[in-house]
Homo-oligomer: A and B are copies of this chain.
């Protein structure tokens, strides 16, 4: 059966994963990190799938990064034992952290305030076992973290070291998603490295431990030239890649492993519109390419075999309706796509689009295999 025949069996919209592309993306970053001599701690928030975690993690046990405690619980139940929860800890969440640790998961948290450090100390005391925490370092003004030269660094470090466990420091160059081209991304990577390594140096100079120096984002992980002082790199969206990453040059369109399968349900010929059954409920409302040089609307349209239609994008999305049209200014011809035609749409942001579905329909990497179904989960 051809791929098109296999996909024709699926109800639409459906989340299609090209396993071969995904494995190549995973291998690309794995080799890069091995070449730089640094550990890779993949972020599992993009995939939220045990099947995919097994392909991302060298031996299945870690190291891994998560964005919710639900992820930590699900992946621990699936055998992952070395997990970093990389969102500033809310004090109320520490009992769940302690419970996972008591069950045998080496779960670490991050924080950037003395109040959080005190809460981790109190929770460690209550649990009768130290909870390890990393101090979040701000390298680019993106969101959380303290500056590497902030007086709070040593204050927080001392509190953790005295009453919990100071695991290290963490930086995330969130602004690198707007850095176009490898040179700009390499500069962002150096800023991320320097901030984290600088903070680690200050902690050590004060006699505090700092075993882990964690940095990362997908753009900086692919562009970093020097990771001196760094012990591990985090990245997540590299698993699938997406139009935002293609737009800043981290990958090509042919590397994007995720697409939404959709069906043509109507036309408005006078307006140049093709209506499909993929709206924002399927694509998400993410408009991450809106600020890039090429705005891809809500996604770039391919035929069912994955061949891109140049200039054909999802220009508008209601809950379950998508409007496909030529991008503004295009002089291409609108393809003739009859009602019932299946198409595939590349997403702006893989994390957001994947989160709209409860499973992947997988085109297996092996030849001649039937489509697979891999569950994914959400929630907190």
Contact = CB atoms under 8 A, between A and B. Distances in A.
Contact of A321 (B143, B267, B351, B358): B143
Interface in A87-101: 87-93, 96
A318 interface: yes
Interface string A141-160: 10110000000000000000
Complex copy number for this chain: 2
A358 B68 CA distance: 15
Contact of A141 (B271, B286, B378): B271
Interface stretch (A21-29, A113-121, A161-169): A113-121
Bin chain A's interface residue count. 35 or more
A323 B263 contact: no
A183 interface: no
B319 A351 contact: yes
B285 A144 contact: no
A316 interface: yes
Interface string A270-290: 010101010011101111000
A95 B352 CA distance: 31
A13 interface: yes
A67 B320 contact: yes
Interface string A318-336: 1111010000000000000
Interface string A343-356: 00000000110011
Q: What 5 A-B pairs are tightest by C-beta distance, nearest first?
A: A88-B265, A285-B285, A90-B263, A67-B320, A115-B339
